[in-house]
Amino acid sequence: MTTRREFVQALPSAGAAFAVAGSVVLDESPARAQTAAPLKGHFHPQGKAPSKYTIEILRKAKATLPFGDTRDLDENRRGLIARMPDMKIMADAGHVAWDMESFQFLDQQDEFDSIHPSLHRISRLNNNYGLYEVIPGIYQIRGFDLAQITFVRGRTGWIVFDVAVSGEITRAAWKLFQQHRGEGLPITAVVYSHNHGDHWGGIRGIVDEADVRAGKVPILAPRDFMRHTVEENVYAGNVMNRRLFYQYGLLLPTAPHGYVGQGLGQRVSAGASGLIPPTRIVERDIEDIEVDGVPMVFQNTPNTEAPSEMNTWIPGMKALWMAENVNATLHNIYTLRGAPVRDPLRWSKYIAEALYRFGVQADVMFASHHWPRWGNDRIQEVLRGQRDLYANMNNQVLHLANQGVTINQIHNVYTVPKGLQDKWYCRGYHGSPEHNSRGVVQRFLGFWDCNPTSLIPLSPSESAPLYVEMMGGAAPIMARGRQLHDEGQYKLASEIVDKLVQAEPQNQPAKELLADIFEQLGYQQENPGLRNSFLAAAYELRSGIPQGEAPSSSGPDVIRAMTTELFLNFLGIRMDARKAEGLRFTMNLVTPDNGERFIVELDNATLTNIQGYQAEKADLTLTINRSDLERVMAGAKTLEAQIADGTAKVQGDIGVLQRLAATMVVFDPRFEIMPGTKRPAAAVAQADAYQAILRQTISE
């Protein structure tokens, strides 16, 4: 047995190996940190004006849109009980968690020459901000966060469907509800519709965990909820954190030339996010459960909008809750921040099942985003349209792929049928036909377009110098790129100017020109994720990568949600295999308080684990309660400190942990995407002045 003193002397930083599983992103709308941290950077307070070509593209787009269909406007306004009087909601940490005031410019004029008219329309609809009645006994708080909060009257209190992202937001929603419709009754149950963070992160603002543990407030969730809550994005959490800067426009100012909404809602709140695990898992495909005296029928819909998701039918109210499977938009099949590609055909079939099992009887349909639909004819229309939208995308993309259309062509070939384009609820406010069609090809065929040139291609930074050389150098590329920009040929211009930026990352005039090109392409997009991505790239080309603390969701609740196996798996990802060449060990890990046992092995520069076994001849055995391991994982207490005070025990070669710690890498969420955007120290210092402004723009 190794003594604690020997361990501390031999391994001063061994705990680093066990404290690296912290930075994770958890959602379609990624979850916030325990408390959102400010980002540091700077931006042009107003983008450059749209060109005459962009203005003409938007004018033509407007002429194709079904503005004669105004039903959404009526449905969006219906049932308003009380507007939220406070335009800003403060976080407990002192900054602004929610700022609806910044979006009021959207209502001040009918159109903007830098915003796609369809995007402007959905963003104006998302300016609804208050308490709404769905039907007597069902109420929604809308406009407080990316997702909304629903209250259903139970026998003894209120059943809550989804709880937004932040505790402060959910608490403010509950206060407004209590003022107007709460009747002084308590919360008696919570339903998590699916595993994305904007549907469970605000739980601690409305429920006391002690009441959950005591059985007073059951929390229901679909099967595999906890696994997918952590697993879907944890393995690639750092890169997803970086990519969401683009999809969600984290640093763009809320303005006509910048961020104008996220489609599903205005943005994601910047308060404190937590997680209380569910106490009742809906396991069966269709399961009848009485919740606080209200009979409900739950329909599990795995691998649709989320890997773990469920719809709910409330027969006594003839009310159908469609979670995030049916909203007023085409959703993501492939999400730009990154996630496993979803199954659009399965998605379509679950909608069809909901239609025929529940929808033919429903009087009202409501969901976790946007507004309800009333009347059976309207409900069936929307369900059928959404069913056909996802089925068409799956079937017709594969139809084209089977005729040789590749992943690099499909977005320019596939189109949503005109009949579906004319339905507002099938427009691309979250997913776009362009990136979703590529996602379908990726799901079935992968990245390769079958051209051997693209099978093992050079990296862009390696191939670009040859292109630049063959084009005659920087000067003719800049001249031709500027000419194409001035002619409105922005995609062609980006093709050649990007090559120059890749070849010459410090060529600031080239980066400025590429930023100008991206900006015009951004203005032209109906889809918020596409718009934000182009504008975010333009921002970084001009201003550099933002510095300071980056978004994270590694609060204690999330750490506790990680299974030990998931944590060990993630260690294998954080390990730099180049540092592990020639190393070999076998370690037993025992967590007595929950009875888990693992073998952890390092061999062939690969870290593996298997649960339920112990090696007879392990190099090291580490015994630590899972509850104490969580403190190490969260960075609250080091492993060496726990060994020193006897909380953890080691037997065997203590150098195993030291060698493991030496292979671990702490991921930097500010890695470079656009070439030449790493900023010098002077620029980083200058960026501090913008911290207060950027507090207002943090979003998921």
Residue 198 scores a pLDDT above 80: yes
Residue 185 scores a pLDDT above 80: yes
Residue range 502-510: mean pLDDT, rounded: 96
Q: Using 50, 70 and 90 to split pLDDT, how confident is the model at 394? A: very high
Residue 480 scores a pLDDT above 50: yes
Residue range 221-233: mean pLDDT, rounded: 87
Predicted confidence (pLDDT) per residue in 552-574, tens digit: 545 567 667 788 998 898 889 88
Mean pLDDT estimate for the chain: 88
Q: 414 to each of 236, 352, 451, 528, 561, how far by Cα in Å?
A: 30, 23, 20, 20, 41
Only one residue has tokens 């590429």, namely: 514
Residue 233 scores a pLDDT above 90: no
Instruction: Between 590 and 551, name the one with better pLDDT.
Output: 590
Residue 175 scores a pLDDT above 70: yes
Domain ranges of the chain: 4-24+552-662, 39-286
Dist. CA 674–CA 684, nearest whole Å:
17
Residue 11 scores a pLDDT above 70: no
Q: Using 50, 70 and 90 to split pLDDT, how confident is the model at 294? A: very high
Instruction: Tell me phi and psi for residue 629, to 5 degrees.
Output: -60, -35
Could you give the 3-state DSSP secondary structure of residue 609?
Answer: strand
Residue 635 scores a pLDDT above 80: no
Asked if 414 contacts 439 with a C-beta cutoff of 8 angstroms, the reply is no
Residue range 155-175: mean pLDDT, rounded: 97
Q: Using 50, 70 and 90 to split pLDDT, how confident is the model at 65? A: very high
Q: Quick one: what percent of the chain has pLDDT higher than 90?
A: 77
Residue range 366-387: mean pLDDT, rounded: 98
Residue 151 scores a pLDDT above 80: yes
Specify the pLDDT at position 46: 58
Q: Using 50, 70 and 90 to split pLDDT, how confident is the model at 5? A: very low
Specify the pLDDT at position 19: 44
Specify the pLDDT at position 540: 92
27-36, 308-317, 595-604, 690-699: which range is least confident on average? 690-699
| CB neighbourhood size of 535 (10 A) | 29
Specify the pLDDT at position 555: 59
Q: What is the CATH number of domain 4-24+552-662?
A: 3.30.1050.10
Predicted confidence (pLDDT) per residue in 139-150, tens digit: 999 999 999 999
Instruction: Between 414 and 13, name the one with better pLDDT.
Output: 414
Predicted confidence (pLDDT) per residue in 19-55, tens digit: 433 333 334 444 433 334 334 433 444 579 999 999 9
Dist. CA 376–CA 358, nearest whole Å:
11
Predicted confidence (pLDDT) per residue in 78-131, tens digit: 999 999 999 999 999 999 999 999 999 999 999 999 999 999 999 999 999 999
Specify the pLDDT at position 683: 41
Residue 264 scores a pLDDT above 70: yes
Asked if 168 contacts 268 with a C-beta cutoff of 8 angstroms, the reply is no
Q: What is the CATH number of domain 39-286?
A: 3.60.15.30
Could you give the 3-state DSSP secondary structure of residue 222?
Answer: strand
How far from chain centre, in Å, is Cα 119? 20
Specify the pLDDT at position 138: 98
Alpha carbons within 13 A on the beta-carbon side of 296: 24
Residue range 627-643: mean pLDDT, rounded: 85
Could you give the 3-state DSSP secondary structure of residue 168?
Answer: helix
Residue range 440-460: mean pLDDT, rounded: 94
